[in-house]
Amino acid sequence: MKGIAILGSTGSVGVTTLDVVSRFPERFRVVAMAAGKNLEVLVEQVRRFRPELVSVATAELARDLKTRLGGEKIDILYGTDGAVAVATHCDAQFVMSAIVGAAGLRPTLAAAKAGKDVGFANKETLVIAGEVMTRAVHEAGVNLLPVDSEHNAIFQCLEGRQRGTVKRIILTASGGPFLKLPLDRFVTVTVAEALKHPTWRMGAKITIDSASLMNKGLEVIEARWLFDLPAEQISVVIHPQSVVHSMVEMIDGSVIAEMAIPDMAIPVAYALAYPERLPMTHLKPLSLAECGPLTFEKPDFNRFPCLRLAFDALNAAGTMPCALNAANEVMVAAFLAGEAQFLDIARNIETVMLRHSNQPARTLEDLIETDGWARAQARELLGLHTHAA
Ligand SMILES: NC(=O)c1ccc[n+]([C@@H]2O[C@H](COP(=O)([O-])OP(=O)(O)OC[C@H]3O[C@@H](n4cnc5c(N)ncnc54)[C@H](OP(=O)(O)O)[C@@H]3O)[C@@H](O)[C@H]2O)c1
């Protein structure tokens, strides 16, 4: 019986993880869960999965949760320390890292340092602190199992291959809802339009990132750390059907792809059961004959400047990816709140990057400082000095 801790249990990946866990009760037991503010969903999850420990974002929410749970015998914590306690729970062998954004950094790092295998959905952690995180993973000798469908695909394609035989990896991108939108229409893009992802159902932040292609940019940086490859060996191709989840090109010209229906249950199940595989018999099988033509095209860096900015940050290295991520988190929150236009996202991130004096990113402290600085810069650009993202 594998003990599972879930960071971000109430989110899209968290709910999918619980669904997979519930289908294999003889293999998995949920021992701890961390969420943010969604007590409605969390209370139901606690009653159903009976973890020993649960954590929420604030002390006030923790008090409210305690009242709602009445006499349930469970430890309730809050804040970053609470999420760290969930990530390091003594009965957890596997931690699903699915908190969105920089809030996932400390608990994910703590999980690796505590010797837990990590199912890795929270890409922002590797964008911010790739060097610090991968060092912790190597020192602790744990598995970092990619849950992002693209990285999970590459992980599977690379299994059993020798490093030197890989020429490059090719991340596929659906292109999001604005793939064919004329450039002059981007100025009037609404939140509702940006939230309509053509192939995946996901949380709001990653859906906006997918519309701007920043999600692919973050994934390029994530891939650099997960697979220890330089930017020149990482490329992106647009594939609107989201059937080929990514590919690896070998030095002899062979290209190995992983394909499946676009359902996060597949990479989640892969990470949970690694190195075994779970029979996911409830899922619709992939029928290539039914899904129609599979198409591929080059990404347009002019229409999607966020992708270019992410490659720039990766090439700059140091604290630049952290600055990019922090500015993006502030801008996406502002866009979702109706306080910024879609085009402001890339524009303000670029300004923050131009202002940033890049430093080596060796310690968590270097990164926390940059994160705070870049958030303040992005807020200043928005004219929202006191507004927290
Ligand atoms: N969704 C996907 O299909 C998908 C695919 C690949 C990668 N990812 C990555 O996985 C991560 C999660 O994505 P998602 O789509 O599942 O996001 P989501 O639906 O927005 O869920 C985010 C989760 O994080 C929790 N959270 C937010 N702030 C928190 C805090 N300060 N402390 C504790 N918990 C906090 C939320 O809690 P409340 O809701 O309770 O506030 C929620 O459980 C992201 O990094 C994303 O890029 C997602």
CA distance 164 to 8: 37
- Measured in angstroms, how far is the CA atom of residue 268 from the centroid of ligand 1? 14
Bridge partners of 248, per DSSP, are: 169, 256
Q: Which among 16, 39, 100 is the best mutation to test ligand 1's pocket, defined by most ligand atoms within 8 Å of the CB?
A: 100
CA of residue 208 to ligand 1 center, whole Å: 13
How far apart are the CA of 293 and the centre of ligand 1, in A?
Answer: 32
CA of 222 to the centre of ligand 1 (A): 16
Query: In this model, does residue 388 exceed pLDDT 80?
Result: no
Residue 163 has pLDDT above 90, yes or no: no
- 45 within 8 A of 118, measured Cβ to Cβ: no
Looking at ligand 1, which residue's alpha carbon is closest to its atom 26?
A: 36
Which residues have CB under 6 Å of ligand 1? 8-14, 34-38, 57, 83, 98-100, 103, 121-124, 148, 200, 202-206, 264
359-376, pLDDT tens digit by residue?
A: 999 899 999 999 999 999
Distance 252 CA to ligand 1 centre (A): 39
In angstroms, the CA 263 to CA 193 distance is 22
Which residue puts its alpha carbon closest to atom 29 of ligand 1? Answer: 36
Identify the residue whose C-alpha is closest to ligand 1 atom 5.
148
Q: How far is the CA of 322 from the centre of ligand 1 (A)?
A: 18
Instruction: Tell the residue nearest (CA) to atom 45 of ligand 1.
Output: 122
pLDDT digits (tens, 9 = 90+) for 196-210: 988 888 999 999 999
Q: Whose CA is nearest to atom 30 of ligand 1?
A: 36
Q: Rounded to whole angstroms, what are the CA distances from 67 to 33, 60, 72, 85, 349?
A: 18, 11, 10, 21, 42
Q: End-to-end distance of the chain based on CA atoms, in angstroms?
A: 39
The residue whose C-alpha atom lies closest to atom 6 belonging to ligand 1 is 148
Task: Map 191-241 to HEC letters.
Answer: HHHHCCCCCCCCCHHHHHHHHHCHHHHHHHHHHHHHCCCCHHHEEEEECCC
Residue 114, both tokens? 């505590």
Percent of the chain with pLDDT over 90: 95
Average pLDDT over residues 138-157: 98
Atom of ligand 1 nearest to the CA of 202: 1
Residue 148: per-residue pLDDT:
97
- Residues 212-249 pLDDT 10s: 999 999 999 999 999 999 999 999 999 999 999 999 99
Q: How far is the CA of 50 from the centre of ligand 1 (A)?
A: 21
Per residue in 318-357, pLDDT (tens digit) is 999 999 999 999 999 999 999 999 999 999 999 999 999 9
Residue 384: pLDDT band (50, 70, 90) is: low
